Amino acid sequence: MSSLSSQPYKGTRDYYPEDKRIQNYIFDVWGKTAESFGYEEYGSPMLEPLAVYAAKSGQEIANEQTYSFTDRGDREVAIRPEMTPSISRMVAARRQEMAYPARLYSIANFMRYERPQRGREREFWQLNVDIFGVDSVQADAEVISYGDQMLKAFGATSDMYAIRINNRKVIDVVMSDYLGLNVIQSQLMIKLFDRKNKISSEDFRDQAIDIFGEEHAPVGLQKISTLLTVKSFDMLPEQLLENEDVQELKQVFALVEKSGVTNAQFDITLMRGFDYYTGTVFEFFDTHPDNNRSLFGGGRYDGLVGLFGAEPLSAVGFAPGLTTTELFLTSHDLIPELKSSTDVYLVVLGENTLDGANVFARQLRAEGVKAELDITLRKIDKQIRTAIKKNIPFMIFVGKEELESKLYALKDTSSSEEQKLSFERIVSTVKDRRRSAKDDLDDLIDSI
């Protein structure tokens, strides 16, 4: 009989302690930044009716990318591939009771059956941020500003990323009035533009010709070429300049600029593939040459709550992914040195002191110190190597002399500095270090 593979399921990853430290760090910054804006955390089931995704995420998501099955009650269900339909369902269920604006966030995992590649996995974690009940573009600007400040909370600077903004209503005008496409052609062209950076220019041209048809393709391709050169509102074709939806988008830029965002760009080709967007759409892009890619995106989706039988409600949201955030932080060398969640490692000096060391460990834990006790009775050098390998901040050496004198050698694992301290001083030293690390993160978030 062949042995089982030790590898995780394709498109998923294992999180060993050192990986979980990075994950928890990112989650911590996400959560603290969200709460600094007044967003409150929620949770939802991992399974939803398949119809929820078929209705609004698009057929590609529902038919090709969901992990769906028929449960024992003959219900068609799917492991959630995204959160927006779930939170819209939740808001619809309490449409009358909730206080608005409703600012909500969650950190959850999802599954989507697609080809795994760098920064894209079948199981992935996301921060989901949504504001419900604000019809004006103030909400659009707030969410974009929130995304900007979230990245700055990680230590990023504005030159490390660009924010590209468009409007789905402007897109519709471009498709129908400027390119002269019907509804079906417009949908196909939007999907094509959304894949523009993922396919070759030749493939893009050939697919555009198929959408226009041979007769209209020459003029259509020339107009697309004009769109691709647009970098500001002033460069828009004349027939689009005075459009009211373009004016609305200008308002978003003005508000975003007032909030301190300096790297927002107008991108007429930004589409965002999900069908449910109804207004502003945006994406954050990494500018690092080794990771030049989309980080995350979002936009306004005013119609989704109404699908669940409730009165329609305006909403704006976005969803950064864990892996793309980690790649961004790694590319820009922004991941701090992260120690073990354990505070101290107790190195036992001699077999006869293990019982006393055990008592000492329990006393530390009673004071809120996270203490790991070496119970192996190995040589001291092997115990020390374990503490270093686990990246535990402190070691405490516990022997007969230490137990009798009640003075213990506390060693900083990083600096190798060592001092003899009482139990009370050890507790205060460990807690001071932990508090300092927490304060550093809070100060960074407060300073944005």
Q: pLDDT tens digits for 280-302?
A: 999 999 999 999 999 999 999 99
Beta-carbon contacts of residue 177 (< 8 Å; ≥ 6 apart)? 239, 240
Sheet with 47-49: list strands edge to edge.
47-49, 76-79, 67-70
Q: What is the DSSP string of 319-369?
A: --BHHHHHHHHHHTT-PPP---S--EEEEE-SGGGHHHHHHHHHHHHHTT-
**C-alpha–C-alpha distance, residues 255 and 67, integer Å:** 40
**Looking at residue 445, what is its pLDDT?**
58
Provide mean pLDDT across the span 112-122: 88
**Looking at residue 115, what is its pLDDT?**
86
Provide mean pLDDT across the span 359-380: 96
**C-alpha–C-alpha distance, residues 98 and 12, integer Å:** 36
Q: What is the CA radius of gyration of the chain?
A: 27
**Which region among 70-79, 265-274, 424-433 has the lowest average model confidence (pLDDT)?**
265-274
CA 377 to chain centre: 44
Would you list the domain boundaries of the chain? 8-135+302-338, 157-291, 344-446
Q: Which residue has the higher pLDDT, 444 or 344?
A: 344
Pair of tokens at residue 49:
């009716």
Region class of 49: left (phi > 0), else alpha (psi between -120 and 50), else beta? beta
* Burial class (CB within 10 angstroms; exposed 0-12, middle 13-18, buried 19+) of 166: buried
The yes-or-no verdict on residue 56 having pLDDT over 80 is no
Dihedral sign of CA atoms 79, 85, 87, 90 in order: negative
**C-alpha–C-alpha distance, residues 345 and 150, integer Å:** 34
Which range, 132-146, 259-273, 274-288, is most confident?
A: 132-146
Task: With cut-offs at 50, 70 and 90, classify the pLDDT of residue 119.
Answer: confident
The yes-or-no verdict on residue 446 having pLDDT over 70 is no
- Taking all residues of the chain, what is their mean pLDDT, rounded to a whole number? 91
Q: Which residue has the higher pLDDT, 53 or 429?
A: 429
Task: With cut-offs at 50, 70 and 90, classify the pLDDT of residue 5.
Answer: very high
**C-alpha–C-alpha distance, residues 125 and 326, integer Å:** 11
Question: Are 433 and 337 contacting, i.e. CB atoms less than 8 angstroms apart?
Answer: no
**Looking at residue 62, what is its pLDDT?**
67
Per residue in 288-346, pLDDT (tens digit) is 999 999 999 999 999 889 889 889 999 999 999 999 999 999 999 999 988 899 999 99
Residue 33's SS3 state is: helix
Nearest to 347 by CA among 386, 301, 393, 401: 386
Task: With cut-offs at 50, 70 and 90, classify the pLDDT of residue 195.
Answer: confident
**Looking at residue 187, what is its pLDDT?**
87
For residue 343, count other CB atoms closer than 10 A to its CB: 24
**Which region among 186-195, 259-268, 371-380 has the lowest average model confidence (pLDDT)?**
186-195
**C-alpha–C-alpha distance, residues 337 and 18, integer Å:** 11
CATH fold of 8-135+302-338: BirA Bifunctional Protein; domain 2 (3.30.930)
| Whether the domain at 8-135+302-338 and the domain at 157-291 fall into the same CATH topology | yes
**Looking at residue 325, what is its pLDDT?**
97
**Looking at residue 20, what is its pLDDT?**
95
Pair of tokens at residue 151:
């990245």
**Looking at residue 60, what is its pLDDT?**
59
Q: Across-strand partners of 56?
A: none
**C-alpha–C-alpha distance, residues 447 and 21, integer Å:** 23
Q: What is the pTM of this model?
A: 0.88
CATH number of 157-291: 3.30.930.10
Cα dist from 102 to 91, 228, 314, 321, 417, whole Å: 9, 37, 11, 22, 50
> The domain 344-446 is classified under which CATH number: 3.40.50.800, 2.40.37.10, 3.40.50.720, 3.40.640.10?
3.40.50.800
**Looking at residue 61, what is its pLDDT?**
63
**C-alpha–C-alpha distance, residues 170 and 270, integer Å:** 11
Measured N-to-C along each axis, helices 354-366 and 423-446 cross at an angle, to the nearest 10 degrees, of 40
Cα dist from 436 to 62, 333, 380, 427, 429, whole Å: 47, 22, 30, 14, 11
Question: Are 329 and 335 contacting, i.e. CB atoms less than 8 angstroms apart?
Answer: yes
In percent, how much of the chain has pLDDT > 70? 95
**Looking at residue 208, what is its pLDDT?**
94
